[in-house]
Structure 1
Amino acid sequence: MGTQGSAAERAGIAEGDIRVLVENGEYWLRNRGDIAMMAVTVERLRARWPRARIGVLTHQPGILQAMLPEAEPLCGPDWNWRPDGWHGRLSRTAGTRLVGPAALRWRAATDGPKDRLRALRSAAARRRAAGPGITEHVTVPEDTEFPVEIPAAVEQASLVLALGGGYMTDIDRYQAHRTLNLLEHARSLGIPTALVGQGVGPLRDPALLRRASEVLPGVGFLALREGRRGPELLARLGVAPERVLVTGDDAVEFSYRLRQAKIGADIGLCLRIADYSRVSAAAQATLGRVVRACAGQLGAGVVPLIISEYASEDRLSTLPLLAGASGARPAVGRGGTPHDVARQVAGCRVLVTSAYHLAVFALSQGIPAVGITASEYYDDKFHGLAQMFGTGLRIVHLDDPALDQTLTDAVRDLWDEAPSVRDALQQKAVEQIDASRAGLERVFRLVESGPVRPGHHRGG
């Protein structure tokens, strides 16, 4: 799709003509774990290519500008780069300094009432569809057709980079197909492609398996956040092993930087209920009762940890569990950042969480965690994470007939073990940070050693 460029041409590209199109997996920017991964990756891209344009596909341009001022939003209806030149730079500066903070304040003020109304509607729908006892959300029908929607910005991209997430799986087929379509189109134009920090699977849907086997073998590089399932699944899909590297989650570095020298004194708690994480009412009651009892016996506070603001799913499931806890701490506000939550985690001695990225935040700082799972999806997430860190993560299934005792033992054991596992966990975090940076170095080389594309030197 072009000819090999001279050293001078490459220097010119490195000085400002590179455009990185980032597929972040979560366009509404309501998951602080995903934002943490994106923050680390954007920082690394900016360090390598200081004058590059880093565009992120999003439905929330203002929120992106508030959270990640080093990136620029690519949003509908045209999904294209903004004009270059002084007026484009002025627009981006105004967005970062004015629009972004205003958008974050507006979301914080309005999300509560909107989410309470959605929750009432969702609860009524669940009662009609599922009956009592199980909380679940509506899923995408299996026979759904996924249109090919390609953002115009890809035409001028130097690199298409799909960031880590749990979307390359049956439970998020829309986002999986959207990402695969984008990667396939970029490759057809000769644009380098890569995936980093990915969790792949469970994957059994025939149509999604077929698309993945058509697209993923042609991707330039794939970095996985775990080695338990991903490498074998990619091999079955036809991906060459030399294109795959297990690096760990990209949010590891984000949280590791916020570690504290002093061991915390609280118990962190997060329960998420969604279509991919079914939880019975009895299990919810047991979880809350055990954590409150352990906190009382150990003289600990209980910190509600909110990682996802999507439909207030973490708030609606977690905050009621603190009712009656003598040492209940306040939750982060709806406008809170990933840094705010990671700092809350730093004040904990143990976490009990059904949210994967909170376990990442904890283990990366040397804090042990109990991973709560009620589905194969979370089994894979937590067992993969446990393998990456080697210690400090105890996995408990909510369908355990002895849940009360199993959970109590897990919390108390990890509370006692917290000082002894701290250094080992932090060392594993450092190893994953090094691996993640080495993986991104391979991504950089896809661009810097490849042909100079004609579109690099066009205006916006």
Structure 2
Amino acid sequence: MPNVLITGITSCESRGVEALARSIIEQLNTEGSKGGNNVTVLTQTPVLDAEALAPTGTRCVADPFVVSRSWQQMRPQESPAELAARREQLLAETDLVIATGGDLHTSDYGVSTPYLRALTAAQQRDIPTVMIGQSVGPFDDPADAAAWLTVAARCHLLTVRESVSLGYLVGKLGLPEHRVRLSSDPAFLLPAATGERISAVLGPLGLAPEDPYLCLAPSQGITRFSTLEDSQHAAALTRLATSLVRTRKMPVVLVPHCHDSRPHNDDRILAARIAEAAGMPEVMALPGTLTASDYKGVLSQAELVMSERLHAAIGALSGGTPAIAIGHSHKFNGVLAETYGDTVDVDGIHADVRTFAQDATVIDRLVNDTDATVLRTTLRQRLPLITDRARSDFAQISKLLGA
């Protein structure tokens, strides 16, 4: 049975990260893989992620290639020698390294080159490597771009999840076209929780299965990538939530997609803040410790989703529910444009978070001009193509594993 190492995982505290990890693991262990694979996930929060991914039978270990100071309390303390020994042991057992991460490889977060280390070490030992469903760039530092290109040139499979990244890699960085392929985010393949489970999740909010509702997925951490004050951001989201209730005559469920142990990135804090500031019972935060599949189920049953978390938007889109993104980088409009196709104007389904918070007309446009019926029809026509692209990555991976 092949041994597969997954890198690019930070922590399943982010349900977007959990969605990526679970989708990849479950695709690796489908019937077509001749009984499955032994999968090891490198993470900053191994105990937490072992619990989150327990249904998949995956082993989660503290990443010995990247040691994040911000999560150091969530992983064992190890000396440099201990880390080096674990790196060697892991690679000695590995038949394939898969890099996920969505958008790690950009200058936005300052972690691109460190998260290449596992791939570089594997390539030095002639272990096959793949990078799937990536958004890449832009890089501010030429050294980061060069490091990424060096690894990409030796990957056995390299796919991106949207055309913006494809154009950047080929047109700006000069990557040969045959080295990269357009695909989709693996999380489009994540199964949603059952209808019975979603009814149990929504019940405490007073929502029955037949009740229509809207979803708003706020990001506590998004202001770190803009000049916005937290108070300005929260006020804009509160105006959006209350405007949606008054105009669309439906409750708004706030979806905290990231349950981070670091307060600056914990969406539960912001969701509670919005619900309190709204001062109306129709604006309510979804409670509980829910899984990525739970959230996908909730998002998939909504009439419309507005999201500052890309993987919350993907949870909706992959379930056939129209989503609009409020974002801070090209990854948002890139993924949405790819999902809806050329017939939908990207400017109508995406708003930059700075403009959203500072220009009142943006909220008016999102609330009044969004035609959810048209978006839903277009989305459901495109979904088979998007999911087939994601599945094709795993067909190629199966060949690499000899399945």
- TM tier relative to shorter chain: 0.7 to 0.9
Matches within 5 A, 1:345-364: 345-364=299-318
Residue of 257, 281, 287 corresponding to 1:332: 287
**Aligned residue identity for 2:272:** L
**Are positions 1:36 and 2:19 aligned together?**
yes
Matches within 5 A, 1:158-173: 158-173=95-110
Deviations 1:240-280 (CA, angstroms, capped at 9, x unpaired): 322322111111122678799x9972221122243235533
Match of 2:48 in 1: 63
**Are positions 1:289 and 2:225 aligned together?**
no
**Are positions 1:265 and 2:212 aligned together?**
yes
* Paired residues of 2:255 and 2:285 also in contact (CA < 8 A): no
Go from structure 1 to structure 2 and tell me whether the alpha carbon gap of 1:151 and 1:273 turns closer, same or farther (over 3 Å shift): farther
Residue of 430, 442, 454 corresponding to 2:396: 442
Residue of 209, 218, 225 corresponding to 2:154: 218
Go from structure 1 to structure 2 and tell me whether the alpha carbon gap of 1:78 and 1:387 turns closer, same or farther (over 3 Å shift): closer
Go from structure 1 to structure 2 and tell me whether the alpha carbon gap of 1:290 and 1:388 turns closer, same or farther (over 3 Å shift): closer
How far does residue 368 in structure 1 lie from its aligned partner after superposition? 2.2
**Are positions 1:279 and 2:232 aligned together?**
no
- Distance in 2, Cα, partners of 1:342 & 1:424: 20
SS at match of 1:161: strand
**Are positions 1:243 and 2:179 aligned together?**
yes
**Aligned residue identity for 1:265:** P
- Distance in 2, Cα, partners of 1:53 & 1:38: 14
* Paired residues of 1:216 and 1:237 also in contact (CA < 8 A): no
SS at match of 1:197: strand
**Are positions 1:397 and 2:382 aligned together?**
no
- Please report the RMSD computed on the Cα atoms of aligned residues, expressed in angstroms: 3.0
**Aligned residue identity for 1:32:** R
Structure 1 range deviating more: 403-412 or 227-236: 227-236
How far does residue 431 in structure 1 lie from its aligned partner after superposition? 1.0
How far does residue 344 in structure 1 lie from its aligned partner after superposition? 1.8
Between structure 1 and structure 2, the one with the greater Rg is 1
- Distance in 2, Cα, partners of 1:258 & 1:368: 20
Higher relative contact order (CA 8 A, sep 6+): 1
Residue of 353, 359, 363 corresponding to 1:407: 363
Aligned residue-pair number: 359
- Distance in 2, Cα, partners of 1:224 & 1:286: 32
- Distance in 2, Cα, partners of 1:361 & 1:51: 25
Deviations 1:80-139 (CA, angstroms, capped at 9, x unpaired): xxxxxxxxxxxxxxxxxxxxxxxxxxxxxxxxxx9xxxxxxxxxxxxxxxxxxxxxxxxx
- Distance in 2, Cα, partners of 1:264 & 1:346: 13
Q: Give the alignment's TM-score, normalised by structure 2.
A: 0.79
Match of 1:73 in 2: 59
How far does residue 372 in structure 1 lie from its aligned partner after superposition? 1.2
SS at match of 1:229: helix
**Are positions 1:302 and 2:285 aligned together?**
no
Structure 1 range deviating more: 241-250 or 263-272: 263-272
* Paired residues of 1:370 and 1:411 also in contact (CA < 8 A): no
**Are positions 1:182 and 2:118 aligned together?**
yes
**Aligned residue identity for 1:405:** T
Q: Give the alignment's TM-score, normalised by structure 1.
A: 0.70
* Paired residues of 2:166 and 2:180 also in contact (CA < 8 A): no
SS at match of 1:191: coil
